[in-house]
Every structure is written in structure tokens, then in C-alpha cells.
Structure 1
Amino acid sequence: MALLISPGGGRGDMIVSRLDEYRRRICRVLVAMASLCVVGLWVFETETQVITELDRIAYPLLLAAFVVSLFLMLALPRWHRMAEWIAYLSFTTYCLVGVAAFGHLAEQTRLYTIANTLQWMPMLYVASFILLQRRDAVIAAALVFLSMSIPIVVEFSASDSYLKDRVLGSLVINAYLVHLVILVSLSLFVMTSLAFEQARAKAKALETMASTDSLTGTMNRRGLEQILRHVAGGSSGEIGLILIDIDNFKPINDTYGHLAGDAVLQAVAKRLAGVVRDSDVVGRWGGDEFLIITRDAQLTDVIAMADRARQHVGTHVLAGMRVTLSAGVGVWDGQGPWADALQRIDRALYSAKAEGRNRTAEAATAPNPIPA
């Protein structure tokens, strides 16, 4: 918050990175669970003698693919994405071959094998949405559904199709209808969530614009007041307040013009942002005044920060001229109206300017302002 406000930036990148790591963890958990499920089905179907000849070959191959994928994910993180695709494509291939082989199954195990395959296929749609971006996931899941449907459509057109059996035919039709509903539901949910995220992002961008000073890029008075209202009554520590005024700013405008004055304001804002902590807030309070809000700060720390800010500005040529600052400082416990706290800081600033400018005055010792 101490930096000048701008769209995007390091915080957004950090959030994206965390979300990607969370997605990777989900992938690892799913592949590990899939490996255990393959082992469980392999043992169960072998013991109950319902395993097909295809699965006697496919289960070891599928398990090997999952184990290799999981090993790559854990041991070689840079290959994580490739490992995800190995697991996804392996399972897709298994399901596609399994559907195509429905017509070649033994009579006594056909019903079980078809039902078993059809009930696991929706995991492909879920995996598509985990592996890919939203729109790509919708397309990939739809392609998987269509590719799995082709063997069934071809089988229905055959005169001697096993699907002529009412039970099997009804089972397959119902299963594919459920798959379609799942696919459409996932797609609608994801696209709706995308629309909500875009709306939230737009609202946040508008809120940021409304709270940002267009000239300096710092928070404006509206944004600063929101911060003060937020911490009022809820602070667990003292809040440091530094009100800064550019000395002799009016003569700069009168002598060099308003463009030069704007350049000075921009340069001062950047300098102030460079002396505070990441958790602090720098904003333009109005005109040539800036306000710094710092949390969990002792008065001595606040005074030191104000002095650093003055030195950081005063020792450099800004917009072709030397600029000095006056500062009023104090601490606030968050109790009582924030306007009263700012009034004390404003009195301290008045004291600093009255004593000759280019200095820092404490609110605790600042006299009341002399009436104009």
C-alpha cells in the first residue's frame, strides 16, 4: 500500500502464484487417489473374477502412468505440467478404448464393466476444468464427451449391437444423459463464476480509481478517509499519522507555472513512497499536503520516518528545483473520531511551518493554531 497505486503489480502476481500452487496440490492429490483406486479395482475385480482381458493389461499400464506422473510432480516440479497431461491423456485413452470395447466384452461381465466405465468417465470432465483455463476446459470436456459418444453412436447403428438389449441400451443412454448434464452444469458454473470474477475485478478497479489521486498515483483523500474509518475503534496498536506540506509551494506555481507544480507533486509522492514500509499508506490529502498512515508505530518511530521523508526530498533536486517539507506527526490509538486526531496533527504541521518550515513538529507539544 505504500507504493503508488497502479493496476496489476506484484500483489496480483503473488495471488496467481498461490492459486497455481493450490491447483498443483489438487492435481497431486487426485493422481494419488486415482492410483489407489486403480489398485483397489484391480485387486477387487481379480478376486471377484469380473476383470476383463482388456483391464488385465490396461490397469497395470494406467497405474504405471499415474505413478510416473506423481513421481514427476513431486520430484521434478518443473515437469509438473507435463506430468498432469500424462495422467489426463492416459485416463482419457483408457476410457475411450474401454467404450470402444463395450461390444467385445464377455456376456457375464458386460453389465458391470459398462456401468463401471460410465460412472468413472465424469472425472475426465472434472480433470479438464482443473488442468485447463475456463474456456479451454469447456472445449476440452466437450471434445472428450463427443469422442466418447462416437463409439456408442456407431454401435447403435449396428444391426447386431449389444445395445439392442433394453437394459444395456437404457443404461448407456441414461449414463450419457447424466454426463451431458454434468458437463453443461460444470460449464455454466465455471462461466458464471468467470462473469462474477470479472464483475468483481471491474468493481475493484472502479473503487481503486475512485480512491486514487490521478496526478500523483497515490491514494486520494477519499481513500485515506476510508482507511482511517476502517482502523477507528479496531486498532490493536497505535497508528502513526504524518501530515506533510510542501514548503513555499504557491510561489513555485506562481513563478514556474502549474505544470512545474504538478511535476513537484509527482516527484514528492514518489520520494515519500520510497521511505515508508510496505504496510504503510501514502496519500495526497489535498493541494500540496500528503498524509502517511503507519500501523503499530511508536511516536519516536513516526518522528524518525517524518525526518527521513524530509531528508529524502530535501537532499534531491525535484523537477529542477530544491524542495523542502514541513511535517506534523503524532500517534492515534484508533479511539474517538479520526477527524480529531487529524486536527491535532494539522496543528502540529502549523507549528512546524510557523517555526520556520523544513522541520517536524509533534502533535503532543504543538500549540493551538493562531487565528487568522
Structure 2
Amino acid sequence: MSVKLFEPYTIKNITLKNRIVMSPMCMYSSEHEDGMVESWHYTHYTSRAVGQAGLIMVEATAVTPQGRISPQDLGIWSDDHINGLSKLTKMVKEHGAAAGIQIAHAGRKAVLEGEIIAPSPLPFDETMKTPKEMSVIEIKETIEAFKQAVRRAKEAGFDIIELHGAHGYLINEFLSPLTNKRVDEYGGSRENRYRFLREIIEQVKSVWNGPLFVRISAKDYLEDGLDVQDYVGMATWMKEQGVDLIDVSSGAVAPAKISPFPGYQVPFADQIRKEAVIPTGAVGLITTGIQAEEILQNDRADLIFLARALLRDPYWPRNAAKELGFDIEAPEQYNRGW
């Protein structure tokens, strides 16, 4: 039996050398609160490319200053950000990985000075700021901000774009009835709550023809919240709009008790993949090569997104290969120690 984890994967015009993806993880390391790439980012992301991940997905990168999760977030709201991001993509690609970026707006989960915005004026919890309900004009301006951010990402040389529609950030806030209480065309029915994401995808596709992923939270873990079956329907809409892969996470739209266990989100990726007939990425407490290989061999997902496992071990692909009895090529400089 072949080792599927290390088989190439082609999506549109990009071929990944294996199925291992470095999941987007915020580093909160833009020291001057200007959204610029810093030395830390070059070291952090390039080391995982040297470690042989097939796709390096840069962390949630804000489309507006108001859309940052924290003041130290990376930004892509200005053309001034392009040079630093271009250097980063070049460094990642030099080591054989593809370069992706997650485009995001924090919505009501922004921890910033000044006004924050959301679909409805509901704070995340009693410790968080109450956001301003977005006007239709502000919605349209934010959609345009996503479009311009993707234009900049294209200019910076990214191979893959991911829209952050998960974890309680702005897109997710529009999708969930727990956070979207609007009574206009952007609220109410599932179709209306999807409208914000639909219009973002439409505008993004006007400037981007490469692979497009969307990260979702497939379960809200709360009564009256969304469940995976809701996202099967929305994934079908995304597929019709030209989205290429759904990156399937869960939770965090509102405070909820979650009891995670190894692979606990994989069934969501599996169901969406089969019922919406669209490629998916599996993420969440995937820690070993054997576990990752089982997911792929049983066609439960198409890509494996690794987060904390790659924080602990930049050379996780090497160790997974050894676990699976598969030889992967070492960087030439490391041959004598690989």
C-alpha cells in the first residue's frame, strides 16, 4: 500500500509535494502594531518549509486595522505590506513548499482600542467589548477590503488563499444565528446569513483564479447554533461559487463546552467531503503519521492540517515518514543527519 500522506496533491494550478499543511496559527508578533512581517515570521514559517511540509499557510492576516484580533497581528490592508509578504513567500518556496495565506477579519473578537464591528451588537462574553452593528455600507466596504487583501496576496506571490470563516471571527459571525440577529438581507434565513461570505467569494474571484480554500467551524456546540448538516449545504454553495477546498474546524463562535479528543473534528470533514462532494482538510488533535495516514487512506479528507504538532516539532513530516516506513528526501544540507 502506498503512503498517501506523502503523495503529491494537485488543486487547480498548484501541486503540493505532500498532503501535510501547516495550519494557520496567529503569532501575535508584529512588534510595532503596523501589521508588518518581522524576523520571527521569516524564521517560523521557513523552518517548517525546511521541515518538509507541503503547504505553509500563513496565519490570519487582517484586511483592515480594525479587523485584527490583537494589535500585533499581521496585516494585509495596505500595499506597504506586500514587500514583507513577498520576501516570506520567496523564502518558503525556496524550500519546496507552497505558500498560502489566511485572509481574515476578527469582528467582535478583536481586542483593540476603539470601536469594533460585527453583524449584531452582541459581545462574545461579559469580559469583551460590545461591537457596533455594521451598516450595509460598512458591510460593502469590508467586502471590498477582502478583495483588495487578496489582490495584495496575489502580488506577494501566494499560491493559495484561505478565507477565515471559522472560530467566531467576522465571516463566522454572519453565518451563525447565535451571532447574527439582523433583519435585513444579511440576516434571518441561512441564505441571507451566507450572503456576506457569498459576496466576499464573488469579489475575491474577480481578482484571484488560483486555489481558494474556506475555513469553517462545522459545529457551534450550542443549542440553536449551526451543526455539520448546515455546513454541508453551505459547502455546496461554496463549491458552486468555485471554492476548491473546505478546511474543517469547529467551535469558538460563542462560549461553549467542548471535550476534544484525537481526531474529534475529522468526522465533520468526512461528512462534508462526501455529502457536498468537495475536497476537505482535516484539522484538530492530529498528532501522528499513522493517524494522518488513516484519515487519508479511508478518504475522510484530502489534506492534513497540523497546528500544535508543528509548533512542537518543525520536522514532524520526517518523523511521520519514519513512523510509516517511508523515505522522504532531506534538504541537501541535512543529508548527513537526516
Q: TM above 0.5, one fold?
A: no
TM range (shorter): under 0.3
TM-score (norm 2): 0.23
As a proportion of its length, which structure holds more helix?
1
Q: TM-score, normalised by structure 1?
A: 0.22
Please tell me whether Structure 1 or Structure 2 has the larger radius of gyration of its CA atoms.
Answer: 1
